[in-house]
Copies of this chain bind each other. A is one copy, B any other.
Amino acid sequence: MGRRIIINYSVLSEAVGYRLRRAQLAVFQDFGESFAAEGLRPADFSVVLIIKHNPGLKQSEVAEALGIQRANFVAIVDGLEARDLVERRKSETDRRVQALYLTPLGEQFAENMLTTWQAHEDRMVEKLGGPDARDELIRLVNRLAE
């Protein structure tokens, strides 16, 4: 049988990094469950979102905006292109560049994606105690991320 143990967490109880990490894992857990059917990971979500609102950006611009290295970004775009959500279009003016656009299917997908995401986000906001608490949290974590 599992002994009933009381553990002294010492400074972990109030360590910013540790508590932040645990919270982030819980949020991503909920995100993952929300998008299990679509097989959409957080990175995919953010990429689709950025392309939807900034069509025609270069691959490297989207990657940099999201803090993803361009080398690792290739496979992400490959995946989204294979699902016919995103299209690479070679620039006429600079043939090195791949400009990114949502396909018509991608636009439609993005709508549903945002609906699913909003439900996820609403759950998080409720856990936090409402929109004011959410705003306060965002304000605080933004200070950590500069």
Is A140 in contact with B128, judged by CB distance below 8 angstroms?
yes
Report chain B residues within 8 Å CB of A52: 10
Report whether over half of chain A's contact residues are helix, strand or loop; otherwise say mixed: helix
Q: What sequence of 0s and 1s flags, for each residue 19-30 of chain A, a beta carbon within 8 Å of any chain B beta carbon?
A: 111111111100
* Copies of this chain, tallied across the complex: 2
The stretch of A69-77, A81-89, A131-139 in contact with B is A131-139
Instruction: Bin the interface of chain A by size.
Output: 35 or more
Is B17 in contact with A42, judged by CB distance below 8 angstroms?
yes
Q: Which of B18, B28, B53, B140 contacts A46 (CB 8 A)?
A: B18
Interface residues of A in 90-146 (CB under 8 A from B): 114, 117, 120-121, 124-125, 127-129, 133-138, 140-146
